[in-house]
Amino acid sequence: MPKETKFFGEGLPYLKTEDLKGKLIAIEGTDGVGRSTQIDLLEEWLKVQGFGVVVTGWTRSRLMSRSIEMAKNGNMIDRMTLSLLYATDFADRLENQILPALRSGFVVIADRYIYTAMARDSIRNPDLEWIQNVYGFAPVPDLICYLRLDMENLIPRIIESGGMNYWESGMDLHLCDNIFDSFKKYQKTLIQAYDNMVEEYGFEVLDARRSVNDIQLDLRQRIREVIQGPKNILTSIPGLKEEPVGASEIHERLEHRLNAMISRFGGAYEAVIKPAAPRMVENLSTESSDDTVIPFSTGLSPLEDIPEDSEPKSS
Amino acid sequence: MSSLELAKSIPAKGGKSVLFQEGHKYPGKLFIVEGIDGSGKSTQIRLLHSWLEAQGFPVFMTEWNSSEVVKKTTKEGKKKKTLTPTTFSLLHATDFADRLFYQILPPLQAGMIVLADRYVFTAFARDVVRGVHPAWVRKVYGFAIKPDLAFYFKTPLQVAIDRILSGRPKLKYYEAGMDLDLSNKPEESFKIFQGMILKEYDRIVDEFGLSVIDATEAIEEQQRIVRLRVQEQLEGFTTKRRNYAKRNKVFWRRFAIPENRRP
């Protein structure tokens, strides 16, 4: 059944957005909560599972990065203009990167999403409705994980990881005469702004005071629930219950896994795995009719997972 | 859904747009001109500019898509043809916001007359033709202020096309609406594109009550009507320039250090 893509507002009337096969996962949180560390781990984990993964960051589009840098370096920029620059950047990434990836079935991890813009804007512009309307073209993510960290724990992390900068400290707002107090005041308001959105937009709140590992496991658990559609492959997730599946599905899974291995280990594997792959799948299909159920082995590393009989038999 | 059908779903109060319900509260005056390429609106606004200045009014003029912030980006995006209807629309909105807050509002606050060659209606017409939602683009420009007078230079399609094609040897990609895949030939694409924009403008004229000028009339006749309508708006408006900035007669300037000897 085709899945209708939900948008925050009017969407993109000129594009076909029904039946986007992939999943959009937004990771939100203030600076210094460890988003990028977690996203790196998630990306690796998902790839090992055989998923295609695309990570997209806030203000990383080719088109806009120069304008945004220019705007940030000189202070002669109106707040609304800056908000629109960010929105343009997001639109560019959405149409040239995120939507094509979702269309081809990738898992897209967004390092910050439009909630970041709304949080920042809610502090700077009194009219929050305007910025919500501007982002009316944005699709609603399948999952929003909000890594929440309180002020006391945030400050040391920021200072350790390179210090406070002008914008992260909200110096443009002239809240205080020194960067430390300004940072404190600004980030506190920002955390409040995120907190205010939790209910309205259905954030999953994750306590970011925990260890990297604990947060990662928590994230994986939540993501697993979202990407476990009927057509998704679910393999080698430790602790996941083994499920019996039909041969046609195995066929699909094997292909996914092989592609993942190829993308991970590069050309060397391509030479070995690719010629063997069709035979591997063929063997499985002939051994079992579609009705037969075979438990699919899990918990193996990709290296161990290549069946021995996948060696070319002609040798 | 076609953009036309979508347009009917625009939230409206009493048939009029929710945008521009109230006029601005600044002491200055904002006059704008709209119309498709080749409608002659730029000629008319320049004539208006000279006339107002000659009367001693302080006038400031601003043009669509001229802010420094996005100039290079827009140029690059156009060159590489990576702009989508939404990024195209948002880039222009960014440009507009920048000009509004730095070029349009300060002179209005200072009691000057601001003339704008194209205003938000250009975006409403073009972007909707490109495919963005009519309600969305109106909301994006929700921060714009209502002009005191908005002229629309109504031109039959063929007249505008003849004017443009005779004066310009080669049509640019986005100018001709080539991104819409209307036709492989730039000229043909341009015609269809402008025709669609024209239809969109017709709706905008009703929606926002633009002041329509028949652009097939002689230039001086059009200008006569423009000045008449501007005159009405300027009743009671007294902010005139008291002294001209002609300081070259001040004696000490004669002893200014020549350019090449300055440190």
Do B118 and B197 touch, CB atoms closer than 8 A? no
Please give the structure tokens belonging to residue A210: 């925990």
A228 pLDDT above the threshold of 80: no
* Residue from B1, B90, B95 to probe the interface with A (highest A Cβ count within 10 Å): B90
Distance in angstroms (rounded) separating the CA atoms of residues A127 and B30: 24
ipTM of this complex? 0.77
- Residue A168's pLDDT is what? 76
Whether residue A130 and residue B135 make contact (CB cut-off 8 A), yes or no, is no
Do B239 and B114 touch, CB atoms closer than 8 A? no
Lowest mean pLDDT among A65-74, A201-210, B18-27: A65-74
Whether residue A84 and residue B69 make contact (CB cut-off 8 A), yes or no, is no
> How many angstroms from the chain centroid is the CA of residue B38?
13
CA distance A10 to chain B (A): 6
Q: Which of A125, A147, A129 is nearest to A191 (CA)?
A: A147
Residues of chain A neighbouring B133 (CB-CB closer than 8 A): 9-11, 13, 136-137
Do B148 and B31 touch, CB atoms closer than 8 A? yes
pTM for the whole structure? 0.74
Residues of chain B whose C-beta is under 8 A from some C-beta in A? Answer: 1, 3, 6, 69-70, 72-73, 76-77, 82-87, 90-91, 93-94, 97-98, 101-102, 130-133, 135-136, 139-140, 142-143
Do B132 and B88 touch, CB atoms closer than 8 A? no
- The CATH code of the domain at A23-227 is 3.40.50.300
Q: pLDDT digit string (tens) for B100-118?
A: 998 999 999 999 999 999 9
CA distance A181 to chain B (A): 29
Q: pLDDT digit string (tens) for B201-224?
A: 999 999 999 999 999 999 999 999
Chain B residue with minimal CA distance to A75?
A: B69
Q: Which residues pair with A54 in a beta bridge?
A: A108
Residues of chain A whose C-beta is under 8 A from some C-beta in B? Answer: 9-14, 62-64, 66-67, 70-71, 76-78, 80-81, 84-85, 87-88, 91-92, 94-96, 127, 130, 133-134, 136-137
Do A101 and A164 touch, CB atoms closer than 8 A? no
Residues of chain B neighbouring A11 (CB-CB closer than 8 A): 133
Residue partners of A123: CB distance under 8 A and separation at least 6: A170, A173, A186, A189, A190, A193
Residues of chain B neighbouring A127 (CB-CB closer than 8 A): 142-143
Output the average pLDDT for chain A.
Answer: 77
B123 pLDDT above the threshold of 70: yes
Chain B residue with minimal CA distance to A89?
A: B87
* DSSP output for A161-191: TT---TTTTTGGG--SSSHHHHHHHHHHHHH
Q: pLDDT digit string (tens) for B171-209?
A: 888 888 898 999 999 889 999 999 999 999 999 999 999
Residues of chain B neighbouring A67 (CB-CB closer than 8 A): 69-70, 72-73, 94
A3 band by pLDDT with thresholds 50, 70 and 90: low
CA distance A170 to chain B (A): 20
Whether residue A10 and residue B133 make contact (CB cut-off 8 A), yes or no, is yes
| A55 φ/ψ angles, rounded to the nearest 5 degrees | -105, 130
A12, A62, A130: residue with CB nearest B86? A12
A259 band by pLDDT with thresholds 50, 70 and 90: low
Q: Which residue reads 């021995």 in tokens?
A: A308
- Residue A74's pLDDT is what? 63
Q: pLDDT digit string (tens) for A155-175?
A: 888 877 777 777 777 877 777
Task: State the Cα angle at B185 between B184 and B188, rounded to 5°.
Answer: 115
Residue spans of the domains in chain A: they are 23-227, 244-310
Evaluate the CA torsion angle A195, A197, A200, A204 in order and state its sign. negative
Residues of chain A neighbouring B70 (CB-CB closer than 8 A): 67, 85, 88
3-class SS at A306?
coil
A215 band by pLDDT with thresholds 50, 70 and 90: very high
Residues of chain B neighbouring A84 (CB-CB closer than 8 A): 90, 93-94, 97, 140
Residues of chain A neighbouring B180 (CB-CB closer than 8 A): none
Chain A residue with minimal CA distance to B86?
A: A91
- Residue A127's pLDDT is what? 74
Whether residue A81 and residue B77 make contact (CB cut-off 8 A), yes or no, is no
Whether residue A84 and residue B73 make contact (CB cut-off 8 A), yes or no, is no
Whether residue A67 and residue B77 make contact (CB cut-off 8 A), yes or no, is no
- Residue B262's pLDDT is what? 54
Whether residue B1 and residue A13 make contact (CB cut-off 8 A), yes or no, is yes
Class of domain B25-237: alpha beta
Residue spans of the domains in chain B: they are 25-237
CA distance A136 to chain B (A): 7
